[in-house]
Amino acid sequence: MKEVVRRYGLGATVLMVTLTAFWVLALIVLPYLFLVDASFRPFLPADQVGGPNDHYTLQNYLTLLNPNATKDFLFLSIPIHLYVFFQTVALSCLVTMITLALGYPLAYILAKVVNRRSVATLFLILLIPLWISELLRSFAWYIILAYQGPLNALLGLFGAGPIRWISGYNGVIIGLVYTYFLFMLFPVYGSLSTLDTNQIEAAEDMGARWWQIHRRVIIPHAKPGIASGCVMVFMMCAGALFVPKLLASPSSRWFTEVIMQWFFEGLDWNTGSAYAFVLLLVCTIFVSLVIRIFKVNLADIAR
Amino acid sequence: MSEGVELSDVSVNFGSFRAVNNVSVSIKSGEFFSFLGPSGCGKTTILRTVSGFIAPSAGVVSIGGQDMAGIGPNRRPTALIFQNLALFPLMSVWENIAFGLEVRGAPKAARRAKAEELLRLVDLPGAADKAIAQLSGGQKQRVAIARALAVEPKVMLLDEPLSALDLKLRQHMRTELRAIQKRTNITFIYITHDQGEALAMSDRIGVMSQGKLQQVDTPKNIYENPANGFVASFVGENNVFKGKLEDVQAGVGTFLAYGGEVLRARVGPGVKAYSEAKLYVRPERVTLSPLGATPRRGANSAAVKITSVAFEGNFISVNASDNRGRRYTVQVPNDASVWVPPLDAEARLEFDPDKATVLQDELAVRDSEQGENTRGRQSFALEFAQ
């Protein structure tokens, strides 16, 4: 701290510290504390807030397990919100795996196969869609995937289809893979591009086949990037709102939609925040699992 | 077991750039062969062609009599040691060494045993479980050698592996490498721009310049009988006289230097009488004596003034110049019986005709090459026109 004061002077230091503290406290910690508090209090009419009924309770969290509204899944009858929650987590995992399966080969090609001079152009082509808002891109997919939309028209030319793309969660998976693909590609590309090409050649020279080189040399090197990409894509999928809203069939909902409903349709911030914290908890568990599985540091992922 | 390597008329083009130009050389089984040349001369390209990372644009690479065309680096009986070694930083020392066995499906115990054995061979026992980052430069070197030996290659290819080491270690590793080569009796193909390395280690050296093999011979012959001006000036130091070869009698040529001196020297290959050439004489083949002393019979001589005297330890490096402004470098052995001239002294510089060589000028060699190229282009244009 003394060093900072010496370098920037007292005034600038105080300003920097105050602004940072304001940012962290007023914009992050306080809102969260408010929501944590709210999540443990019952949803009451305005005149009863602070009254005798306003006491701490776990009721909001237990709403998730409400047995009155259930959905049959295999042989089980699962509370509907819990079902949506598991669907969201499982499908986010699936989308993460699909983006990895598509992103790793492409990242490898960009980092090690393609001529260095054309990489910039290729990245530009990949980045251009990001200039358009997520909402508009989701709408675009809504049109593309429509039953009488261009994709089915194209398939019709080859005598295939039409396929009902937006049924169940299919449209959501396609949309999420498309929307968050680059968040997998970039970190994986970043770690692959630091790999010394000589190591690949050395492995090949010693008789390794291509899959052995990937398994023993390239993937271990790319692990921090893969972990970081997985964490990012999973979190963004689990927290996605527009894509599932537009591309899911009406009966297939995403957990964020349920949270949003509590907040803005039910005006029940208490239950909404309880649901939101359950999602946050699962995301935290996912990150720590990834750290455990890939044996990387938190710092590697944040990079 | 080792195998010989044969390059016949190998050329490698990168776009319009010809990195390797019509190289033919036969490397014998069990030989330590060095490609020596300045950076960008195509020597690394040759190595990568032998290891299979580059396919020759023309010509044939064969190992042990077998044509290697279409055989990838992972199926060639070669092992390459990279300039930066390319050890796998995420694997331990023994996993690095055993990698080649691992990908061949050898069981773990056998891999470990082989790695331990090779670590003893490269004089690094007990390092098996260390991480690569824990090793020093010289130790990494040894691990890289062990890793290459683990796949029992018939031919070992080394791409300037010592260039990152400091001088003392480099000299130590030279003898070490040579010893390992003798012990394993594997054919070694060594790439270097360091003439000292090439001279000290090799059975034979191929000197390269601009993609062409200039001379292939033993280190002694490369040094004593360079084939042309490039080889003479790249390997070791020289005093150079520009001039014309006047005529040749019994292998000894009369050379007319552009300063007007008439000198006598051996005549190298390809130098025509009455053509421009250069006379080369090594600094250690030149002697200095006081002006008053009796001149040696038959020796070339010049009166010079000493411009600097530097003590180098095993010899004394003396610079001198004559009244025409020509500069000379002389290495005077550090020996009490030899006269060391004081600074600014007048002295007689002498060298015997059999110690000096008249060679085709380096530029002349290049010009004639370019001539060939233009001719090639013209004939191509002609064919095209027809």
What is the distance between the alpha carbons of residues A228 and A216, in angstroms, rounded to a whole number? 20
Domain boundaries, chain A: 68-301
Partners of B320 in the beta sheet?
B306, B328
Of B53, B86, B104, the CB nearest to A199: B86
CB-nearest to A204 from B74, B88, B147 is B74
**Do both B26 and B123 map to the same domain?**
yes
If asked whether residues B207 and B250 sit together in one domain, one would say no
Class of domain A68-301: mainly alpha
Q: Are residue B165 and residue B275 in the same domain, yes or no? A: no
- Nearest Cα of chain B lies from the Cα of A4 at a distance, in angstroms, of 34
Q: Which residues constitute the domain of residue B36?
A: 5-224
Banded pLDDT at A300 (limits 50, 70, 90): low
pLDDT band at B16 (very low <50, low <70, confident <90, very high): confident
Give chain B's domain count: 2
> Among residues of chain B, what percentage have pLDDT more than 90?
35
The model's pLDDT over A149-199, given as tens digits with 9 standing for 90+, comes to 888 888 888 877 777 887 778 888 988 999 889 999 999 999 999 999 999
Question: Would you place residue B365 in the very low, low, confident or very high pLDDT band (cuts 50, 70, 90)?
Answer: low
Report the share of chain A in percent with pLDDT over 90. Answer: 23
**Global pTM value:** 0.78
Q: Model confidence over B253-287: pLDDT tens digits?
A: 888 888 888 888 988 887 888 888 889 999 999 99
Which pLDDT score, from 0 to 100, does residue B203 have?
93
What is the CATH number for B245?
Answer: 2.40.50.140
Residue B132 and residue B14 in one domain: yes
pLDDT at position B225 over 60 = yes
Q: What is the pLDDT of residues B310-342, one digit of tens each?
A: 998 889 999 999 888 888 999 999 888 888 888
Quick one: which of B38, B30, B76 has its CA closest to B54?
B76
Does B170 contact A at CB distance below 8 Å?
Answer: no
Contact B214, B42 (CB under 8 A): no
Shared-domain flag, residues B20 and B97 = yes
If asked whether residues B254 and B208 sit together in one domain, one would say: no
Q: Does residue B230 form part of some domain?
A: no
In a domain, B232, yes or no: no
Question: Could you tell me which residue, B302 or A48, shows the higher pLDDT?
Answer: B302
Q: Which of B169, B197, B224 is the last residue of a domain?
A: B224
Question: B367 to chain A nearest CA, in Å?
Answer: 35
Residues B214 and B262 in one domain: no
Mark whether B362 and B253 lie in a shared domain: yes
Helix (H) or strand (E) holding B341: none
Report the residue of B82, B155, B189 to disrupt the A interface, i.e. the one with the largest count of A CBs within 10 Å: B82
Task: Mark whether B152 and B209 lie in a shared domain.
Answer: yes
pLDDT digits (tens, 9 = 90+) for A104-142: 999 999 998 888 888 888 888 888 888 888 888 888 888
Tell me how close the Cα of A112 comes to any Cα of chain B, in angstroms.
Answer: 15
Residue B231, domain member (yes or no): no
What does residue B2 show for φ and ψ, rounded to 5 degrees? -135, 165
Chain B interface includes A201 (CB < 8 A): yes
Q: Does A240 or A44 have the greater pLDDT score?
A: A240
Task: Name A163's Cβ contacts closer than 8 Å, sequence gap at least 6.
Answer: A152, A155
Last residue of a domain, one of B201, B224, B247: B224
Statement: residue B371 has pLDDT above 50: no
What CATH number does the domain containing B50 carry? 3.40.50.300
| DSSP codes joined into one string, B208-277 | EETTEEEEEE-HHHHHHS-SSHHHHHHSS--EEEEEEEEEEETTEEEEEETTS-EEEEEE-TTPPTTSEE
Cβ-Cβ contacts under 8 Å, A209 against chain B: 74, 103
If DSSP codes are grouped into helix, strand and coil, which group holds residue A44? coil
B213 with B64, same domain? yes
B292 shares its domain with B368: yes
Q: Is B87 inside a domain boundary?
A: yes
Whether the pLDDT of residue B379 is over 50: the answer is no
Interface probe, candidates A197, A205, A213, chain B, greatest B C-beta count within 10 A: A205
| Residue where a domain stops, chosen among B195, B224, B253 | B224
Mapping DSSP onto H, E and C, the string for chain A reads CHHHHHHHCHHHHHHHHHHHHHHHHHHHHHHHHHHHHHHCCCCCCHHHCCCCCCCCCCHHHHHHHCCCCEEEECCEEEEHHHHHHHHHHHHHHHHHHHHHHHHHHHHHHHHHHCCHHHHHHHHHHHHHHHHCCHHHHHHHHHHHHCCCCHHHHHHHHCCCCCCCCCCCCHHHHHHHHHHHHHHHHHHHHHHHHCCCHHHHHHHHHCCCCHHHHHHHHHHHHHHHHHHHHHHHHHHHHHCCCHHHHHHCCCCCCCHHHHHHHHHHHCCCHHHHHHHHHHHHHHHHHHHHHHHHHHCCCHHHHHC
Shared-domain flag, residues B210 and B242: no
